[in-house]
């Protein structure tokens, strides 16, 4: 039995509605997964390791390049060029606390409140074949359900504790994983991944391999139908800062997506592929 912790805002009716749908969805695999809801962090509860600065004191050699002129550097927990947006800081901090538990030796799964099972057979197969055997276990479209090996979680915690300055900004764990998959100072080269093939327009698949960037772009040892996606309410959207619809495009590569200086505004596939839309 795998212990999974699902992050939700138990004081937010929209998040609670997502949570109810997710728990109902995962009843199909309750013989495999034991799910415990946990209260997420919010912008008001996320601690500031890096306090705010007046605009006059911002040093663009040290502070994030993407802040506009005249803005104040907002207080944040994650430094470097991790996104200053307080919502993204809170989302990442909620997951960071659970990733630390994995780093400390708990083999738990991490879930988001909008996780939905879309293919029970694929989920059962990937759990049986890959849970505990790969370093990054992502059987769905995004970060709605995932697991990390202890050694990988330790690297993630070390990176997030001392996030570097880069030419891109980052908003979540998948982007962080992708950027540093080939950096010897952060992630070794011998990890195994089960992650979505994000940049292939006509292949909505989960790929297995040893290089996350190659999997994202369709070069894999094996591929499977996605087991999970994310619920999305058409009317009320979600509780994060960005609400996608069926026709919002992603970009040709994750590098392009996370680098506004070369972002072309199109390519790849449409974000709607990642969601189960609900008429609410």
Q: Label residue 224 by pLDDT band (50, 70, 90).
A: very high
pLDDT at 250 over 80: no
| CA terminus-to-terminus distance, the chain | 33
User: Is 89:204 a contact under the CB 8 Å cutoff?
Assistant: no
Query: What are the C-alpha distances in Å from 241 to residues 73, 83, 89, 250, 274?
Result: 18, 12, 11, 16, 17
CA dist., res. 143 & res. 196, Å (int): 10
171 lies in which domain range?
2-278
- pTM of the predicted structure, to 2 decimals: 0.88
CA dist., res. 271 & res. 280, Å (int): 19
pLDDT at 121 over 90: yes
With a CB cutoff of 8 Å and minimum separation 6, the contacts of 103 are: 150, 153, 154, 156, 157
Q: What is the mean pLDDT of the chain?
A: 83
Tell me the two tokens of residue 127: 């759990």
For residues 181, 186, 190, 193, the Cα torsion angle rounded to the nearest 10 degrees is -40
Strand runs (DSSP E) across the chain, as ranges? 2-8, 33-39, 109-112, 115-117, 136-137, 145-148, 193-196, 206-209, 222-224, 228-233, 275-278
CB atoms within 10 A of CB 39: 13
Per the DSSP assignment, residues forming a β-bridge with 147 are 137
Tell me the two tokens of residue 130: 């890959």
pLDDT at 260 over 60: no
pLDDT at 139 over 80: yes
Q: Label residue 263 by pLDDT band (50, 70, 90).
A: very low
pLDDT at 246 over 80: no
How many residues in total does the chain contain? 280
Q: Label residue 273 by pLDDT band (50, 70, 90).
A: confident
Count of structural domains within the chain = 1
pLDDT of residue 28: 96
User: Is 206:194 a contact under the CB 8 Å cutoff?
Assistant: yes
CA dist., res. 129 & res. 138, Å (int): 13
DSSP 81: T
DSSP 167: S
Average pLDDT over residues 31-59: 89
Average pLDDT over residues 17-27: 95
Percent of the chain with pLDDT over 70: 79
Average pLDDT over residues 110-134: 97
**Out of 6-10, 91-95, 211-215, least confident range:** 211-215
User: Is 79:93 a contact under the CB 8 Å cutoff?
Assistant: no
User: Is 93:77 a contact under the CB 8 Å cutoff?
Assistant: yes
Q: Label residue 150 by pLDDT band (50, 70, 90).
A: very high
């Amino acid at each position: 039995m795998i212990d999974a912790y699902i992050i939700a805002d138990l004081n937010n009716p929209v998040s609670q509605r997502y949570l109810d749908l997710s728990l109902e969805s995962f009843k199909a695999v309750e013989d495999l997964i034991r799910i415990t809801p946990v209260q997420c962090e919010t912008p008001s509860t996320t601690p500031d390791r890096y306090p705010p600065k007046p605009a006059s004191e911002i040093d663009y050699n040290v502070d994030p390049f993407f802040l506009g002129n005249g803005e104040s550097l907002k207080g944040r927990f994650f430094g470097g060029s991790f996104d200053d947006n307080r919502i993204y800081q809170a989302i990442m901090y909620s997951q960071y606390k659970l990733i630390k538990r994995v780093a400390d030796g708990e083999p738990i799964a991490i879930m988001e409140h909008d996780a939905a099972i879309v293919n029970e057979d694929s989920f059962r197969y990937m759990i049986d074949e890959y849970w505990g055997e790969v370093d990054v276990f992502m059987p769905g479209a995004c970060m709605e359900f995932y697991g990390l090996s202890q050694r990988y979680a330790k690297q993630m915690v070390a990176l997030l504790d001392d996030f570097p300055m880069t030419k891109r900004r980052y908003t979540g764990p998948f982007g962080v994983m992708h950027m540093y998959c080939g950096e010897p100072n952060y992630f070794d080269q011998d990890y195994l991944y089960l992650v979505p093939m994000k940049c292939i327009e006509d292949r909505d698949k989960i790929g297995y391999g040893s290089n996350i960037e190659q999997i994202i772009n369709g070069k894999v040892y094996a591929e499977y139908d996605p087991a999970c996606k994310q619920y999305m309410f058409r009317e009320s959207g979600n509780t994060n800062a960005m609400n996608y619809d069926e026709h919002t495009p992603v970009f040709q590569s994750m590098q392009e997506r996370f680098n506004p200086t070369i972002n072309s505004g199109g390519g790849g596939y449409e974000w709607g592929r990642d969601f189960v839309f609900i008429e609410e």
